[in-house]
């Protein structure tokens, strides 16, 4: 596959070029090594596209997972505790995980364990490959990446999306770069408050 478009938010790409150009090259290399042709395995059963072969999001995700893991990237989870009281959450958010739980219990409430998970993390850079449902992109950008950045786990995030021309050859409900580029831009220059690179790919 290849990169057709990219957008650098809060100097995400510039940060990589200055501080970790080798890792940025590695991300681009993984993208180039994914052969989209072998991922065109999903038969459509929808009336308007019946018996037409589409690119499989599952197969594409597997190909990217193999590529990144072969280069030493791995999944990362950040666990935290929540409750239903705003004042407690505000007071414990920056505490270590175990202290969050203790603080909630001391306040007389029930702690609920939760976590954020990112597909691939290496050298303080996070990558999400999003060929799933379009709603997941907003969760990646405004929850996952931001949480990892605020928690000082990453310095920059990368979101890989299909371009519209690829999305047309996939099942319904898949995100595409052009729409999510607008979603980022219309929030204003500082939102989300994490440096990131939005990447649009095609076969």
pTM of the model: 0.86
Q: How far is 199 from 108, CA to CA, in rounded Å? A: 46
- Range 152-171 average pLDDT: 93
- Range 44-49 average pLDDT: 64
DSSP 137-187: HHHIIIIIHHHHHHTTS-SEEEEEEE-HHHHTTB-TT---HHHHHHHHHTT
Tell me phi and psi for residue 16, to 5 degrees.
-65, -45
Q: What is the pLDDT of residue 46?
A: 66
- Give me the helix-helix angle, 12-19 and 21-33, nearest 10°: 110
Asked if the model's pLDDT at residue 189 lies above 70, the reply is yes
Tell me phi and psi for residue 154, to 5 degrees.
-130, 165
- Range 6-21 average pLDDT: 96
- Degrees, nearest 5: CA angle 143-148-150: 90
Share above pLDDT 70 across residues of the chain, in percent, rounded to a whole number: 95
Least confident of 23-32, 122-131, 145-154: 145-154
Q: What is the pLDDT of residue 184?
A: 93
State the pLDDT confidence band at 156, using cuts at 50, 70 and 90: very high
Asked if the model's pLDDT at residue 137 lies above 80, the reply is yes
β-bridge partners, 6: 199
> What is the helix (H) or strand (E) element at residue 5, kind and residue range?
strand 2-9
State the pLDDT confidence band at 124, using cuts at 50, 70 and 90: very high
Least confident of 73-82, 159-168, 176-185: 73-82
């Amino acid at each position: 596959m290849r990169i057709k478009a990219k957008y650098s938010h809060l100097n995400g790409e510039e940060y990589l070029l200055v501080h970790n150009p080798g890792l940025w090259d590695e991300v681009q290399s993984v993208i180039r090594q994914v052969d989209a042709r072998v991922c065109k395995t999903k038969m459509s059963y929808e009336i308007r596209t019946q018996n037409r072969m589409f690119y499989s999001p599952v197969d594409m995700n597997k190909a990217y997972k193999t590529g990144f893991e072969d280069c030493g990237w791995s999944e990362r989870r950040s666990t935290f505790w929540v409750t239903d009281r705003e004042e407690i959450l505000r007071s414990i958010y920056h505490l270590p995980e175990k202290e969050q739980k203790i603080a909630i219990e001391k306040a007389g409430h029930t702690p609920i364990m939760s976590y954020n998970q990112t597909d691939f993390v290496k050298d303080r850079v996070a990558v999400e490959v999003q060929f799933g449902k379009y709603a997941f992109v907003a969760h990646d950008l405004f929850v996952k990446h931001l949480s990892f950045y605020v928690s000082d786990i990453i310095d920059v995030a990368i979101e890989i999306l299909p371009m519209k021309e690829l999305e047309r050859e996939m099942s319904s409900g898949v995100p595409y770069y052009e729409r999510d580029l607008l979603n980022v831009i219309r929030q204003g220059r500082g939102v989300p408050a994490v440096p990131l690179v939005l990447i649009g790919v095609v076969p």
